[in-house]
Amino acid sequence: MERRALLGLAVVATAASTSARASSGGAAPSADTYVRLPVITASILQANGRRGVLTIETGVDVPDAALRTRAQQSAPRLRAAYNTAAQRFANGLRPGVVPDIDQLSVALQAATNATLGRAGARLLLGTVMAV
């Protein structure tokens, strides 16, 4: 009998935390606010001296409808800004070193804010792969 009460309490606690997180600012992006962008690539130098490729999957979460429309219309400009930021990041990588994703995300978020003209769009990173 106590297990059922404990299980019921766990279900209620999980539901309460989910609704609290959804009502706070840290809500997950929905399909309505998400703008997907093409994969960004940059050339890198590998440890053996050969050229490699850094690929970055990106997207933007824009809760504000007016800014989302601007982001959708500015998708080619966003991609160009991301390509520039990614190549600058790749040029600073030493051969054979793992890319610092935090540094990359800061550079791409700055490119997002500069391209859209104001803050409010959150950069989302998918797979970052150096081959």
Rounded CA separation 82/59 (Å):
11
DSSP the chain: -HHHHHHHHHHHHHHHHHHHHHHSTTPPP-TTTEEE-PPEEEEEE-TTS-EEEEEEEEEEE--SHHHHHHHHHTHHHHHHHHHHHHHHHHHTPPTTPPP-HHHHHHHHHHHHHHHHSSS--EEEEEEEEE-
pLDDT tens string, the chain, 131 residues long: the values are 455 544 444 444 444 444 444 444 556 667 789 999 999 999 998 888 899 999 999 999 999 999 999 999 999 999 999 999 999 999 999 888 889 999 999 999 999 999 999 999 999 999 999 98
At residue 14, the pLDDT reads 45
Task: Give, in order, the Cα–Cα distances in Å from 40 to each of 67, 81, 85.
Answer: 22, 10, 10
At residue 32, the pLDDT reads 86
Neighbouring C-beta atoms of residue 107, cutoff 10 Å: 19
At residue 95, the pLDDT reads 87
At residue 49, the pLDDT reads 85
Q: pTM score, two decimals?
A: 0.74
